């Protein structure tokens, strides 16, 4: 949800703080702090997972979400937004390493794969919902503050519901057997070919998911649309809403295709389509910026952006998560 919120809120943060509007590095710093926080959050979250359990790790992640959102919403200093977004990133990282583990450990094997896909759909659905809410808040006084503040509400709701959910039986078992726990020599483990190949496959897919630009497209979607020629904030948010809807629809399609066509074919087809779409988007934006700012090329850029999401969502948006849960 944070991805859709910060990309929209940034349009209005620039209007309230001239320093932010005139400083592209500062804008990028605000956005990037969530990713920096996620790196640390994933590391810290893995320790909390082992020490305190999956439920507590999710509660801590939600605490970071809620506090970070509140800080961003009430601040009078744009520098504090960076701190708040870093805290939100901590929550994103901790939740990322915990959610799939918790789902895999508490769910029956016959529905485990479906729940993993449903988790990915809920993430995309949250992004779509955030664009819907943001579009509805465009006429409200203090637009960006409401956008950022609302982000914390799902975290509070999830903490309440976590009270009624069981702890991971696998974690409880290992906690009980901790006295008899055997230390694992990880350098030896990675000498085993099967484990080494699985690690390279899983980590490689996650790395490629980021290398093909999804974070840039999602975080800067409204700004990309404005650079393509649609200057008003309302137009940028409206087209971003459509892009997010395509993302949700593509994910639903991917849940069906991942078993029908297989992981490998779906991934290769997704990568090929993404490459073509990025080429269209890049060429159109270059022409708009340096050759001809015609409305035709503005629409071509929008088509490229839409095609990118259409090809990304069912393949590279879903397959890395599914494969990592399986290996």
Same domain as 54, residue 1? yes
Q: How many domains does the chain have?
A: 2
Residue where one domain finishes, among candidates 118, 149, 182: 182
Same domain as 241, residue 164? no
For residue 121, what are the domain limits? Answer: 1-182
Task: Give the Cα separation of 288 and 290 in Å (integer).
Answer: 6
Q: How far is CA 150 from the centre of its chain?
A: 17
- % of the chain with per-residue pLDDT over 90: 24
Task: Give the Cα separation of 75 and 84 in Å (integer).
Answer: 9
Same domain as 104, residue 64? yes
Same domain as 43, residue 165? yes
Same domain as 256, residue 147? no
The CATH number for 318's domain is 1.20.1250.20
- What pLDDT sits at residue 141? 86
Same domain as 308, residue 198? yes
Task: Give the Cα separation of 240 and 54 in Å (integer).
Answer: 34
In a domain, 312, yes or no: yes
Same domain as 200, residue 170? no
Same domain as 320, residue 265? yes
Same domain as 133, residue 12? yes
pLDDT band at 196 (very low <50, low <70, confident <90, very high): confident
Compute φ and ψ for 212, nearest 5 degrees.
-85, 5
The pTM is what? Answer: 0.78
Q: Which of 205, 222, 247, 213 lies closest to 134, judged by CA? A: 222
> Which residues fall within 8 angstroms of residue 218, CB to CB, at 6 or more apart?
3, 4, 7, 127
pLDDT band at 81 (very low <50, low <70, confident <90, very high): very high
pLDDT at 307 over 80: yes
pLDDT digits (tens, 9 = 90+) for 264-304: 899 999 999 999 999 999 999 889 888 887 888 888 989 99
Q: Which of 61, 306, 21 lies closest to 144, judged by CA? A: 21
In a domain, 263, yes or no: yes
In a domain, 21, yes or no: yes
In a domain, 187, yes or no: no
Mean pLDDT within 302-324: 88
Between 3 and 65, the more confident residue is 65
> Which residues fall within 8 angstroms of residue 292, CB to CB, at 6 or more apart?
none
pLDDT digits (tens, 9 = 90+) for 204-247: 888 888 888 888 888 888 888 888 888 888 888 888 888 888 98
Compute φ and ψ for 241, nearest 5 degrees.
-60, -40
- Radius of gyration of the chain from its Cα atoms, rounded to whole angstroms: 21
- What pLDDT sits at residue 145? 92
SS3 content of the chain, % helix, strand, coil (to 5): 85, 0, 15
Same domain as 178, residue 201? no
Same domain as 85, residue 212? no
Residue where one domain finishes, among candidates 182, 208, 224: 182
Task: Give the Cα separation of 25 and 172 in Å (integer).
Answer: 46
pLDDT at 1 over 80: no
Residue where one domain finishes, among candidates 182, 215, 240: 182
Burial 213-228 (b: 16+ CB within 10 A, else e): ebbebbbbbbbbbbbb
């Amino acid at each position: 949800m944070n991805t859709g919120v910060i990309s929209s809120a940034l349009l209005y943060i620039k209007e309230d703080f001239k320093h932010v509007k005139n400083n592209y590095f500062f804008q990028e710093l605000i956005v990037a702090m969530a990713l920096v926080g996620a790196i640390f959050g994933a590391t810290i979250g893995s320790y909390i997972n082992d020490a305190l359990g999956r439920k507590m790790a999710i509660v801590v992640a939600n605490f970071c979400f809620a506090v970070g959102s509140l800080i961003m919403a009430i601040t009078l200093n744009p520098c504090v937004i960076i701190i708040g977004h870093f805290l939100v990133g901590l929550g994103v990282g901790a939740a990322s390493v915990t959610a799939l583990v918790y789902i895999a450990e508490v769910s029956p094997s016959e529905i485990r794969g479906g729940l993993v896909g449903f988790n990915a759909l809920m993430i995309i659905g949250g992004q779509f919902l955030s664009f819907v809410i943001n579009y509805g808040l465009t006429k409200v006084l203090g637009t960006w503050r409401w956008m950022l503040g609302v982000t914390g509400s799902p975290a509070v709701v999830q903490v309440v519901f976590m009270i009624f959910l069981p702890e991971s039986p696998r974690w409880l078992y290992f906690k009980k057997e901790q006295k008899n726990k055997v230390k694992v020599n990880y350098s030896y483990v990675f000498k085993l070919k099967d484990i080494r190949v699985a690690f390279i496959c899983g980590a490689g897919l996650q790395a490629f998911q980021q290398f093909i630009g999804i974070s840039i497209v999602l975080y800067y979607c409204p700004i990309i649309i404005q650079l393509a020629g649609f200057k008003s904030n309302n137009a940028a948010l409206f087209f971003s809403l459509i892009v997010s809807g395509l993302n949700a629809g593509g994910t639903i399609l991917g849940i069906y295709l991942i078993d029908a066509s297989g992981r490998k074919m779906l991934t290769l087809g997704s990568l090929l389509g993404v490459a073509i779409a990025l080429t269209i988007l890049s060429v159109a934006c270059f022409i708009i910026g340096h050759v001809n700012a015609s409305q035709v090329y503005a629409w071509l850029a929008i088509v490229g952006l839409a095609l990118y999401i259409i090809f990304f969502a069912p393949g590279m948006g879903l397959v890395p998560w599914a494969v990592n849960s399986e290996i």
